[in-house]
């Protein structure tokens, strides 16, 4: 059996049906899909196998977030009469190393160990560059009929004067800290900043989160506003609507100069974490030489069939700059592989794409927000209920959150669902299926939901279009 990260010794003169550049979630999805269809695939990786999600993204962040959540749960246990609990962070270094063990295990089981399973996939390690007729890997030519680019993305630095002089943390390096700072400045109010900011705050770090607009700017404003309040209750300060003027090193850490509401201010902290977006990994691939167009941010331009502007070359995942979730990367890569081998018949469809933010409460959404729907000229109706109307939340003595539904006023079809709830992530798939199936809010209201579940809130929110849910008995509707 070949080591997963050494060059394959199979016949190098053969011509492959498909070359996949990138050995992360998208790359593996494409390679496996093609191999299952009988294709001969060259999978080309560079660096640690497995890509962002398992190594430096979803897996490590969510296990640390859950660890910090246990500390918070102990602190709020007194919300139940007669219950007292205590938890302390005894050894953050041990928590991080446990995270590393989990990452290593999943990387081996879900990536490296899969390579020998698929005889149609030949793994090559090295820097890849597109050339006429295939791909060049460290000087060796790999002939391939079709190519899929799945090289992912990396954390991007914001254009703040002085940023290049500051040893800032990224979402990658922050997860490897074995010693917690006393204070942390988080720049960026998107999902990464929100998740990691709350995690570090719960671990005992004094956190200030600064953002240009508001917390979770893509979410419904009611959700961002509510989450900001919950953060404040945990001691995490959110400074929104800030213009960044400069950042610099100080004797005790870093200082960020901002302007807010017409006033200048300086925020100081021991460490700074930058979470302002990601840059596609397209450098060095020779894309321009072959006519593969890029966006102004360097992402590969693709159409709804995952085709780039170069015939026979496709792209999927974070390198395209859109829908940067691991499951969408895998989905897009599967479509790209099938289209590359089967006449481009499949279209990329993100109309029922779930999006999750693993804060507490969790943010889960699918479909259109109210603002996007109205901007698109849709005639909409909106329903919103607080979790104090959801029996599950009352029983759990945790009514933080809300549920908002957006519906087409003419057809009644559900256009969007947005949940802020401690268990919201596990409830959104019901709304995904409703939108995918074209259900109306009345059909959702008429559906039987299990009592004392968070997902029952979707039924209650659907009922709230025409009824006062406060005046309904349990399970009534």
The CATH 3.50.50.60 domain(s) of the chain lie at: 15-50+111-155+279-341, 163-276
Query: What does the DSSP 8-state code read for residue 292?
Result: -
Tokens read off for 362: 């969790």
CA-closest candidate to residue 243, choices 262, 271, 226? 262
Predicted local confidence at residue 471, as pLDDT: 85
Contacts of 276 (CB under 8 A, 6+ apart): 156, 157, 158, 187, 188, 190, 193
Provide the sign of the torsion angle of the four alpha carbons 47, 49, 53, 57, taken in this order.
negative
Predicted local confidence at residue 9, as pLDDT: 42
Predicted local confidence at residue 263, as pLDDT: 97
Mean pLDDT, the chain cut into blocks of 10 residues (477 residues total) = 42 81 98 97 96 96 98 97 96 98 97 96 96 95 97 96 96 97 98 98 98 97 98 98 97 97 97 97 96 97 98 98 97 98 96 98 98 98 97 97 98 98 96 98 97 96 94 77
Domain 163-276 = CATH 3.50.50.60: yes
User: Does 130 sit behind a cis peptide bond, omega within 30 degrees of 0 on the bond before it?
Assistant: no
- Element (H or E) spanning 348, and its range? none
462 within 8 A of 441, measured Cβ to Cβ? yes
Q: How far is CA 108 from CA 4, 23, 366, in A?
A: 9, 13, 32
Predicted local confidence at residue 472, as pLDDT: 86
Predicted local confidence at residue 13, as pLDDT: 56
Instruction: Tell me which CATH homologous superfamily contains domain 15-50+111-155+279-341.
Output: FAD/NAD(P)-binding domain (3.50.50.60)
Place of tokens 């700072």: 181
The CATH 3.30.390.30 domain(s) of the chain lie at: 355-471
Q: What percent of the chain has pLDDT over 70?
A: 97
CATH number for the domain formed by residue range(s) 355-471: 3.30.390.30
Predicted local confidence at residue 475, as pLDDT: 75
């Amino acid at each position: 059996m070949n080591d997963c990260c050494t060059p394959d010794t199979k016949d190098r003169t053969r011509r492959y049906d498909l070359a996949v550049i990138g050995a992360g979630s998208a790359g593996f999805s494409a390679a496996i899909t093609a191999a299952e269809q009988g294709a001969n695939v060259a999978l080309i990786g560079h660096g640690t196998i497995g890509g962002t999600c398992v190594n430096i993204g979803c897996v490590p962040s969510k296990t640390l977030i859950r660890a910090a959540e246990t500390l918070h749960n102990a602190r709020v246990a007194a919300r139940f009469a007669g219950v007292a609990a205590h938890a302390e962070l005894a050894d953050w270094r041990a928590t991080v190393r446990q995270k590393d063990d989990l990452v290593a295990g999943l990387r081996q089981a879900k990536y490296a160990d899969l390579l020998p399973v698929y005889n149609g996939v030949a793994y090559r390690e090295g820097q890849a560059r597109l050339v006429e007729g295939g791909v060049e890997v460290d000087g060796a030519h790999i002939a391939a009929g079709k190519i899929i680019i799945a090289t992912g993305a990396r954390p991007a630095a914001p254009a703040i004067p002085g940023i290049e002089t500051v040893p800032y943390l990224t979402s990658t390096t922050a997860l490897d800290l074995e010693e917690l700072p006393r204070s942390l400045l988080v720049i960026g109010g998107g999902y990464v900043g929100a998740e990691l900011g709350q995690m570090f705050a719960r671990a005992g770090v004094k956190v200030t989160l600064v953002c240009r607009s508001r917390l979770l700017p893509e979410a419904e404003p009611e959700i961002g506003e509510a989450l900001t309040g919950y953060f404040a209750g945990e001691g995490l300060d959110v400074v929104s609507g800030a213009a960044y003027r400069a950042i610099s090193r100080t004797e005790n850490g870093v200082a960020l100069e901002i302007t807010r509401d017409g006033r200048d201010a300086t925020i100081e902290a021991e460490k700074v974490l930058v979470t302002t977006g990601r840059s596609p990994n397209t450098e060095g691939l020779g894309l321009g030489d072959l006519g593969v167009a890029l966006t102004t941010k360097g992402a590969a331009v693709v159409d709804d069939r995952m085709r780039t502007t170069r015939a026979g070359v496709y792209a999927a995942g974070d390198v395209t700059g859109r829908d940067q979730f691991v499951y969408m990367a895998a989905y897009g890569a599967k479509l790209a592989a099938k289209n590359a081998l089967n006449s481009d018949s499949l279209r990329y469809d993100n109309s029922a794409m779930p999006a999750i933010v693993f804060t507490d409460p969790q943010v889960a959404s699918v479909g259109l927000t109210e603002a996007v729907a109205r901007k698109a000229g849709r005639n909409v109706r909106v329903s919103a209920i607080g979790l104090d109307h959801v029996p599950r939340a009352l029983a759990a003595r945790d009514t933080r959150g809300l549920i908002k539904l957006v519906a087409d006023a003419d057809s009644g079809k559900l256009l969007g669902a947005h949940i802020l709830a401690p268990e919201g992530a596990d409830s959104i798939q019901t709304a995904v299926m409703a939108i995918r199936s074209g259900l109306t809010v009345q059909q959702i209201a008429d559906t039987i939901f299990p009592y004392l579940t968070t997902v029952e809130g979707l039924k209650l929110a659907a009922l709230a279009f025409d009824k006062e849910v406060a005046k309904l008995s349990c399970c009534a509707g």
